[in-house]
């Protein structure tokens, strides 16, 4: 077998060819980077050919590869007049894309830079650049506004959305029936049958015209993540259970009328839990009883002794079941959440509505004292 001999000439040709390719690649890359992306100049045919070739031959996989496999929705806001360059930088900083420059090139090549709309968008890290660029074309346009009051249960929220925005109440209930279907950190670890009750944050929302049930749910969960979750995560770091705290906050929300009394009411329930005394919270009985057709309300007025003895399958009636109910009974606001995170330090075990009808309560240490304060 003849042994191949080293040829200096062939090696020199190889080195020259490699250097030529490297220089050509560098020049080509600089041409791509030098294309005006600001929109100040018209893109030439050569520019489009260079960018198109670059995207098709070298970056096609990057265009279709998402930043991650995380499906958690994120709210991304584009301000009026914001440049594509700044949008791209913020998308990368938020973990929604890997390469801001590639996003700019793609948008410019497709001619989408002039049609990126201002507004609030729901994006996910498992969307690729092409999908995100398309999503940003869908501007909010006309908007609608809706206020979700504190202390409403899921069914009431569904009815309100249907009446004010035309959102399907049945679809809203169906989509909020399983909390773990949503990949938000604060929902992980909940019981498999837990609903989104309590996690649908009450607030005033501006939404695109004709929103779907899913649009509203994601916006409410995004707001919970921004406003309530950090407080509850701080409590978790102290060894407290966020789901239990939210459950108690929902009871406080239904009981309190005056904001300054929320920490006092929270202290009563914490004192009862500490000694193993039943909570005996009327709102939990009302929640267990459900809708009252004769009164046209989800919160029955004038509970009877039989109502207080009602054994509901879900275990929410705290006159019958010890400890906390399985989960929240309504959506608490921030003030009620803060009340259970920092309850007043008292010896109170009882409270009753004042007889003057101003929404205030009278608090007592002993049952005998409590009985003396009942309205006659």
Residue 4 lies in a domain: no
One domain for residues 151 and 208: yes
- Cα–Cα distance measured from residue 68 to residue 77, given in angstroms and rounded to the nearest whole number: 20
- Predicted confidence at residue 263, as pLDDT, reads 97
Cα–Cα distances in Å, from 237 out to 193, 232, 233, 241?
A: 25, 9, 6, 9
Listed in sequence order, the DSSP H helices in the chain are: 8-34, 45-53, 60-64, 84-93, 100-110, 129-135, 154-165, 169-175, 213-227, 229-237, 242-255, 262-275, 282-289, 305-308, 334-341, 367-372
Average pLDDT rounded to a whole number, residues 252-262: 96
Residue 126 lies in a domain: yes
For the ranges 58-62, 95-99, 151-155, 253-257, the lowest mean pLDDT is seen at 58-62
pLDDT, one tens digit per residue, over 323-341 is 999 999 999 999 999 999 9
One domain for residues 95 and 197: no
- Predicted confidence at residue 72, as pLDDT, reads 79
C-alpha 215: how far from its chain's center?
A: 11
Query: How buried is residue 301: exposed, middle or buried, by Cβ count under 10 Å (0-12/13-18/19+)?
Result: exposed
Confidence of residue 49 (pLDDT cuts 50, 70, 90): low
Domain hosting 123: range is 62-135
Residue 241 lies in a domain: no
One domain for residues 160 and 123: no
Q: Which residues pair with 205 in a beta bridge?
A: 146
Residue 190 lies in a domain: yes
Domain count, the chain: 3
CATH of the domain at 129: 3.30.1490.480
The more confident residue out of 239 and 8 is 239
Residue 272 has pLDDT above 50, yes or no: yes
The more confident residue out of 271 and 106 is 271
Residue 284 lies in a domain: yes
Query: How buried is residue 177: exposed, middle or buried, by Cβ count under 10 Å (0-12/13-18/19+)?
Result: middle
Residue at a domain's end among 111, 135, 159: 135
Average pLDDT rounded to a whole number, residues 175-201: 93
Structure token digits, residue 93:
């900083």
CATH of the domain at 181: 3.30.1490
Confidence of residue 80 (pLDDT cuts 50, 70, 90): confident
Residue 248 lies in a domain: no
Nearest to 274 by CA among 362, 349, 351: 349
Average pLDDT rounded to a whole number, residues 93-121: 82
Cα dihedral: 265, 270, 275, 280 (round 10): 50
Q: What is the DSSP secondary structure assignment for residue 83, as one 8-state letter?
A: -
Sorted by sequence, the CB contacts under 8 Å of residue 271 that are 6+ apart come out as 277, 346, 347, 348, 349
Structure token digits, residue 257:
């009328």
Residue percentage of the chain with pLDDT more than 90: 56
- The phi, psi pair for 294, rounded to 5°, reads -70, -35
Q: Would the pTM of this model clear 0.85, i.e. be above it?
A: no
The more confident residue out of 131 and 310 is 310
Sorted by sequence, the CB contacts under 8 Å of residue 161 that are 6+ apart come out as 146, 167, 169, 172, 213, 216
One domain for residues 263 and 365: yes
């Amino acid at each position: 077998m003849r042994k191949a001999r080293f040829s200096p000439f062939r090696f020199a040709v190889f080195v020259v060819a490699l250097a030529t390719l490297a220089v050509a690649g560098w020049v080509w890359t600089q041409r791509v980077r030098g294309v005006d992306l600001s929109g100040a100049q018209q893109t030439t045919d050569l520019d489009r050919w260079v960018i198109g070739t670059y995207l098709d031959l070298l970056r096609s996989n990057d265009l279709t590869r998402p930043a991650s496999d995380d499906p958690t929705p994120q709210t991304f806001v584009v301000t009026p007049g914001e440049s594509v360059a700044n949008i791209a930088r913020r998308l990368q900083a938020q973990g929604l894309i890997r390469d801001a420059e590639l996003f700019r090139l793609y948008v410019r090549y497709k001619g989408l830079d002039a049609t990126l709309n201002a507004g609030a968008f729901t994006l996910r890290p498992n969307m690729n650049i092409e999908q995100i660029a398309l999503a940003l074309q869908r501007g909010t346009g006309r908007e609608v506004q809706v206020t979700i009051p504190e202390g409403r249960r899921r069914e009431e929220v569904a009815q309100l959305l249907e009446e004010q925005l035309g959102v399907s109440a049945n679809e809203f209930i169906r989509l909020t029936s399983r909390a773990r279907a949503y990949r938000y950190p604060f929902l992980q670890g909940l019981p498999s049958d837990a609903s989104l009750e309590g996690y649908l944050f009450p607030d005033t929302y501006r939404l695109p015209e004709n929103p779907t049930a899913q649009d509203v749910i994601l916006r409410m969960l995004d707001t919970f993540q921004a406003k309530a979750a950090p407080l509850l995560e701080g409590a978790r770091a102290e060894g407290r259970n966020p789901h239990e705290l939210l459950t108690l906050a929902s009871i406080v929300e239904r009981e309190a009328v005056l904001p300054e009394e929320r920490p006092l009411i929270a202290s009563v329930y914490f004192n009862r839990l500490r000694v193993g005394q039943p909570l005996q919270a009327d709102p939990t009985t009302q929640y267990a009883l459900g809708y009252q057709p004769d009164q046209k309300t989800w919160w029955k007025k004038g509970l009877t002794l039989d109502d207080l003895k009602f054994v509901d399958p879900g275990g929410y009636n705290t006159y019958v079941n010890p400890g906390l109910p399985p989960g929240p009974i309504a959506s608490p606001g921030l003030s009620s959440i803060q009340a259970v995170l920092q309850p007043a330090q008292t010896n109170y075990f009882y409270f009753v509505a004042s007889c003057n009808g101003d929404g205030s309560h009278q608090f007592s240490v002993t049952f005998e004292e409590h009985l003396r304060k009942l309205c006659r």
